[in-house]
Structure 1
Amino acid sequence: MGFDEEWAGIRSAAPEQAAVDMRLNQLDGGGGGGAAGGQPNLATAPAKKRAAANTIETELEPNTDKAAKWADAATTAAVGGFAGWETAAGLKTVEATWDKQVKTLLGRLASEKAALRATAGTFGQQELDTRARIAGVQPASGITKY
């Protein structure tokens, strides 16, 4: 399939994907915001995000660090066994690359953990802020004065 055919297919499918409904002067159909009768498409589970962050902290990071140290010890022993050979120099290069990759992986795990915790907190705070704003809305009716 050439570019032109693919682009034509994408353009013809776009209107179907971007259906927009507008309702004026009527109540919501019960499904919340969004398209008529559609389900909300934003769902978050702060507890699951915290659990995932805790798994990173208690399992993935320590086990990755442990595996890295084990591999370093084994490689150091192999380098000693091949002393004077080109293989020893090659193993040192492999070990340096491995250490760099482990450091990158641990950094990535730490950033994912922080992002999960921040996202869980942000969505939780957004919920509280929205509830507070809704609770603070005063009825527009003058009958509330009586």
Structure 2
Amino acid sequence: MSFDDAWSAARSEAVAKSSTQIDGVAPGGAGSGPDLRLNKPGKKVAVQSLQNDIRPGTTKAGVHADESSSAAVKEFSGWETGAGLKDAHAEWERQVKSLQARLEKDQSDLEDTHRDFQYVDHGIRSRIAGLGAGPDPRRGA
């Protein structure tokens, strides 16, 4: 068997084996899943907790660690331990600032969620209302 014959046979075999499968719709048709819902009371509690407890607590813990670490760095100045504590303290400060920024963003995102979904709902409602205007072009009227 020549190379061309072997190649042709391999291609024919590959074509015969290949098939296309299109993913079907879930049982019950499209949109049969549960509706997206917002947990407004839960979101409100989360925002209040971030605002009143978590973020202030993070700041307080960061300040407390700053004071303790600064005192330890002074006590061990001139020693390798002091340099190590100073480096660890600098990393701690970066981590606290990063955590505070993340918590602030989470709070802001939670506060914006309700408004964002309202805009989406109004936009969809407007598009649906616009669909009813005029005759149906499929009916030839």
Query: 1:4-57, CA deviations, whole angstroms, 9 ceiling, x for partnerless residues?
Result: xxxxxxxxxx97xx54269xxxxxx9xxx71xxx34241222332232122111
Find the aligned partners of 1:86 and 1:105 in 2 and give their Cα distance. 29
Which residue of structure 2 lines up, in the alignment, with residue 123 of structure 1? Answer: 117
- Judge conservation of contact 1:47–1:120 (CA < 8 Å) in 2: no
Give the TM-score normalised by the residue count of structure 2.
0.64
Find the aligned partners of 1:42 and 1:81 in 2 and give their Cα distance. 57
Q: Does 1:20 align with 2:14?
A: no
Find the aligned partners of 1:93 and 1:110 in 2 and give their Cα distance. 26
Q: Which runs of 5+ in 2 are unaligned?
A: 1-20, 135-141
Q: Which of residues 36, 52, 56 is equivalent to 1:58?
A: 52
Q: CA RMSD in A?
A: 3.2
Q: Which amino acid aligns with 2:25?
A: V
Larger radius of gyration: 2
Find the aligned partners of 2:76 and 2:83 in 1 and give their Cα distance. 9
Find the aligned partners of 1:128 and 1:47 in 2 and give their Cα distance. 22
Alignment CA distance shift 1:99-1:93 (3 Å): same
Find the aligned partners of 1:48 and 1:19 in 2 and give their Cα distance. 36
Which residue of structure 2 lines up, in the alignment, with residue 93 of structure 1? Answer: 87
What displacement does 1:99 show? Answer: 0.3
Query: 1:68-94, CA deviations, whole angstroms, 9 ceiling, x for partnerless residues?
Result: 111111111111221221111111111
Q: Does 1:48 align with 2:53?
A: no
Alignment CA distance shift 1:115-1:58 (3 Å): same
Any idea what SS the aligned residue of 1:20 has?
Answer: coil
Written as runs of structure 1 = structure 2, the 5 A alignment for 1:104-123 is 104-123=98-117
Find the aligned partners of 2:74 and 2:42 in 1 and give their Cα distance. 46
% same residue: 36
Find the aligned partners of 1:105 and 1:43 in 2 and give their Cα distance. 29
Q: Which runs of 5+ in 1 are unaligned?
A: 1-13, 23-28, 141-146
Any idea what SS the aligned residue of 1:44 has?
Answer: coil
What displacement does 1:138 show? Answer: 7.8
- Count of aligned pairs between the two proteins: 115
What displacement does 1:132 show? Answer: 7.5
